[in-house]
Structure 1
Amino acid sequence: MDKLTRPIDEPQVKCEVCLKEIPQSEAVNPEAQDYVLFFCGVDCYSRWNEEAARQKAGGKRS
């Protein structure tokens, strides 16, 4: 079976939560007014979202 290949020059970004490098084209990227965050998948995005909600509510960071 042939391996799938990706272009070498595809831009890489780091996941905001786990810092894993991923192709920008495959990243989940919710945009805000002044910045863009990248996540390697729904699990890291959910984790980040839960942590942001805790911080907003005044909870301590885990």
Structure 2
Amino acid sequence: MIEQQKIIAPERVACEVCFKEIPLSEATSVKATDYIVYYCGLECYDQWKKQKDQKESPASADKD
């Protein structure tokens, strides 16, 4: 009798922007201040980066 190997599904994470679930091995990650965020691709990373920069811009303008 041939033993069947147990198929293990890859660990999945959700994209920070579109929430699409992707295998951890395929995800692009960026270390944030206290945690790691994952993206399904460069388009979502660029979108997240633009949103983050827009949120930080008004705060830095108030300090001047």
Greater strand fraction, Structure 1 or Structure 2: 2
Structure 1 runs (4+) deviating above 4 angstroms are none
Identify the residue that residue 27 of structure 1 maps to in structure 2.
27
Q: Give me the CA root mean square deviation.
A: 1.7
Structure 2: runs of 5+ lacking an equivalent: 1-6, 60-64
Q: Following TM superposition, by how much is the alpha carbon of 1:32 offset from its aligned partner in structure 2, in angstroms? A: 2.6
Q: Following TM superposition, by how much is the alpha carbon of 1:31 offset from its aligned partner in structure 2, in angstroms? A: 1.1
User: SS state of the match for residue 57, structure 1?
Assistant: helix
Length-normalised TM-score, structure 2: 0.75
Q: Once structures 1 and 2 are overlaid, which stretch shifts more, 40-49 or 25-34?
A: 25-34
Larger radius of gyration: 2
Q: Following TM superposition, by how much is the alpha carbon of 1:20 offset from its aligned partner in structure 2, in angstroms? A: 0.3
Structure 1: runs of 5+ lacking an equivalent: 1-6
Report how many residues are paired.
53
Length-normalised TM-score, structure 1: 0.77
Residues 33 and 56 from structure 1, CA distance in 2 versus in 1: closer, same or farther, beyond 3 angstroms? closer
What do residues 20-53 of structure 1 show as CA deviations (whole Å, max 9, x unaligned)? Answer: 0000000010113420000000000000000000
